[in-house]
Structure 1
């Protein structure tokens, strides 16, 4: 199988949707049968970019495909040596984060974290949604790292890669254990999620909020239940996310909203409606991120768009490329989150005017308290020799 380069993908524009679909399937492999991927967003499971071989299932006339089992959620234990990840990106307002899980059962088709599964020898497609990794030692590792001499306190961001409140959190409870460590140490944290499961931890979050240690943002991408179901099949419904915003606000937890991503000609017309709903639920701040299609995310998203909105395919992709310098994605710092050009400016201006009308601030205004930190001293923490 020959993989098309990203530059060729960007320039590729066949005459009709059938030609586009054929080209995508040649590029990424055959679509998985509907019965095997029911409840999932991706229909492809191409090999990762680091793999030397790619395998395809095909019907050899002996009904062998009928014996293949549906994709089920499988969770493996990952044992990292450290849990806090550092970054120096100028595009994001934090320099450290925690990811309790690798992969995400929410299965959002546009998720920019999908390519990280390549590092595990797995696919950014259906594997990302079904073959998950949990880090049950996260709380213990966090205690150890926070107790190191010379540790400098800054807010830790959680939910920036995969969702800490995805469905498997109900059983594994890793996120709650992390919060318990942060709460005890008076350590500030910011959380982004699409899940109403965050309401389970309101007891901890409200206690931390009283000390200025936490802020939360719910990601609401659409108010259309059908679109949400197709685009984010196992995430909470829009109504449930608004319910979570309301509950957090009533509990005294500073809560904001993320419209992430904004997809031109698909959900960008809802910007004002989403902000209106958020304001009614009690959001205090809001922000947005333009759709990002790095690496394998581009063919996965384009295939999804062809399956569900074939009449909009050319228009959506044309607008995306108009904001990305003619490409599916531009990774340049300063541009990758918001895009460039007239259409990107229009989205930014609409968001700004709607937020101002509703009295909602842009998402980075609240400063968390870093003065109360007390290094952990519990079991498993490295003791001083002094």
Structure 2
């Protein structure tokens, strides 16, 4: 990318998506940062576009996923995790799954109101709503927009069960909602920790909070009575897999009661982005990493089949599973799924929720 700096970004490329036969974009100088400079090269700044969807509750029927509905307050994610399987969704907007995904974000400020309308529909039956299934609900812009918080307020008001998956200690800001919801049995949080190594973290997840902050968040959530799941995800062969046992130990000592892991996935445009990242940061082991990933994925960069996509296959998948299971046994980390109470749900009355 000769026109901009990639400092602080995980993706090393910003190719125009080709899968949808979209026309090539022209870079608009209005959204390049003309003030901040690094080594004399304009630095990409983050822009946010307001999105006004008609609905916000997304349904899925995937047999290998433990929830059937979710809410995503944002599109794109400034955390910039190079392995993020959600990157290809930016191609639908004629934007690159590369640096655009990390810097050109979409926010849904009406999400809580739209969710209120969904929950008010006649015949609606409650089941846990998942937040953080696509992009992180606590990425940096949440500090300004507070969309995730407004969603949690709506769910708590009607006693609707919810789960949160995040890489951010910013979740602690909403403990005043999450903790009482957890005491009612309608809330659980999963904290994702990919690496404890600051050097690996800086390139793999450049704008996500440091691993030590996430471990500290597990401790504070647990102390507040919130059930916390440790997500060792994704496991990247020869980059982070050697840390699996240490991450489980750190999470268990911080108070996590259950855990799970997922091997890295490289769907669509994620594969070339990940390969470019490897060449930039780990050229000496790039071929070895990709060879192991292909072994996990039946000889391909990615395996999209249900169940297999979350588990992998072959000797490496079996090795990771056995290592993780042993680490969980050694440190008292369970493998149970969240059992949240859906019977407390009280449908909203009227057009507005009661004020706190």
TM-score normalised by structure 1 residue count: 0.86
Q: 2-side partners of 1:53 and 1:210: how far apart?
A: 52
User: Could you tell me which residue of structure 2 aligns to residue 50 of structure 1?
Assistant: 20
User: Could you tell me which residue of structure 2 aligns to residue 291 of structure 1?
Assistant: 264
CA shift digits 1:88-140 (9 cap, x unpaired): 11111000000000000000000000000011111100000000000000000
Q: 2-side partners of 1:269 and 1:129: how far apart?
A: 27
CA shift digits 1:197-226 (9 cap, x unpaired): 000001100110110000001000000011
Could you tell me which of 112, 132, 144 is aligned with 2:105?
132
Could you tell me which of 66, 70, 95 is aligned with 1:122?
95
Q: 2-side partners of 1:296 and 1:117: how far apart?
A: 10
Paired residues in the alignment total 341
User: Could you tell me which residue of structure 2 aligns to residue 11 of structure 1?
Assistant: none
SS in 2 for 1:133: strand
User: Could you tell me which residue of structure 2 aligns to residue 5 of structure 1?
Assistant: none
Gaps of 5+ in 1: 1-30, 58-65, 382-386
How far the C-alpha of 1:326 sits from its partner, in A, is 0.7
SS in 1 for 2:114: helix
User: Could you tell me which residue of structure 2 aligns to residue 375 of structure 1?
Assistant: 347
Q: Which aligned runs of 4 or more in structure 1 are off by greater than 4 angstroms? A: none
Q: 1-side partners of 2:202 and 2:158: how far apart?
A: 39
User: Could you tell me which residue of structure 1 aligns to residue 242 of structure 2?
Assistant: 269
SS in 2 for 1:199: helix
Confirm or deny that 1:91 pairs with 2:60. no
Q: 1-side partners of 2:198 and 2:189: how far apart?
A: 23
Is the CA contact 2:77–2:136 (under 8 Å) kept in the aligned structure 1? Answer: yes
Indicate how the Cα distance of structure 1 residues 346 and 376 shifts in structure 2: closer, same or farther if over 3 A, else same: same
How far the C-alpha of 1:378 sits from its partner, in A, is 4.2
User: Could you tell me which residue of structure 2 aligns to residue 164 of structure 1?
Assistant: 137
User: Could you tell me which residue of structure 2 aligns to residue 351 of structure 1?
Assistant: 324
User: Could you tell me which residue of structure 1 aligns to residue 31 of structure 2?
Assistant: none
Indicate how the Cα distance of structure 1 residues 380 and 210 shifts in structure 2: closer, same or farther if over 3 A, else same: closer
How far the C-alpha of 1:70 sits from its partner, in A, is 2.0
How far the C-alpha of 1:71 sits from its partner, in A, is 1.1
CA shift digits 1:131-180 (9 cap, x unpaired): 00000000000110001000011000000100000000000000000000
Gaps of 5+ in 2: 28-38
How far the C-alpha of 1:246 sits from its partner, in A, is 0.5
SS in 2 for 1:36: coil
TM-score normalised by structure 2 residue count: 0.93
User: Could you tell me which residue of structure 1 aligns to residue 275 of structure 2?
Assistant: 302
Indicate how the Cα distance of structure 1 residues 55 and 211 shifts in structure 2: closer, same or farther if over 3 A, else same: closer
Q: 2-side partners of 1:55 and 1:43: how far apart?
A: 18
Indicate how the Cα distance of structure 1 residues 32 and 337 shifts in structure 2: closer, same or farther if over 3 A, else same: farther
Which structure: larger Rg? 1
